[in-house]
Amino acid sequence: MTSQTPVTPFGARLRAAMDARGPLCVGIDPHAALLDSWGLTDDIAGLERFSRTVVEALADSVAVFKPQAAFFERFGSRGVAVLERTVADARAAGTLVVMDAKRGDIGSTMAAYASAFLDPSSPLFSDALTVSPYLGYGSLKPAVDLARESGAGLFVLALTSNPEGAEVQRAVREDGRSIGATMLAHLAAENAGADPMGSFGAVVGATLGDLSSFDLDINGPLLAPGIGAQGATAADLPSVFGAAVGNVVPNVSRGVLGHGPDAAALRASAKRFADEIREAVAA
């Protein structure tokens, strides 16, 4: 992949979108129970209707969409085709897309994963990709390199909201630093000198309580799942993220999507979350 013109880095584009639209990220998670609650069939037709409705209802107002690739991949190639259209439609409407695929591998395999989501010539090209660093942070180098080249970003799993994550992420290395803290330090190094914000972010759960023992000031975005159905609220963000709260991108999925299929109800729910988050962050 070669670029003929400079591309504005993801971090700068994300900062502009957050400032203009607020920092809310809405997940696109078409799991079977949600399709059923919308009165849709759990098949390609239901998947297409669900995805199209979310994008049409919210693409002009939210900063970020985060489609969960697995819920599309479960339908095979036809599901991936719907994912391609969803990404293209969202980006065409001006919403940034973070592909939630949590890819992680080594060498040429990691390079292939990166190419699938971070090469502008790919039909799945997204503004950013979630990745797993637990084969060692250095295993992500192909994705880091391609993201820099293409103006895309990464969100690295650092301190996730699932309880099982702690057994890996809170484990302590020989140097006395936890694995999660090590990942944050790597990301701070990637973002050094970036203005207004770096393109290499961390996934940090909003449900984790006091994180003051971790340095979250990585000069990059912090994707924060857990708002809404998982129990965290917008009001929790300052106490969890401290001085880094201005770079937090709170993700809400079921809290918004549960109001579908009515487009007006989806918009109202997203606006309510966005307003609550703006108020909490500005306090």
Nearest to 75 by CA among 37, 31, 129, 33: 31
> At which residue do the structure tokens 């980006």 appear?
91
Assess whether 102 carries a catalytic annotation. Answer: yes
The Cα 51–Cα 27 span in angstroms is: 11
The Cα 224–Cα 46 span in angstroms is: 28
Nearest to 169 by CA among 144, 201, 202: 202
Pairing of strands 222-224, 248-252: parallel
The Cα 54–Cα 229 span in angstroms is: 18
Q: Do residues 201 and 223 touch, judged by C-beta distance below 8 A?
A: yes
Q: State the catalytic residues.
A: 102
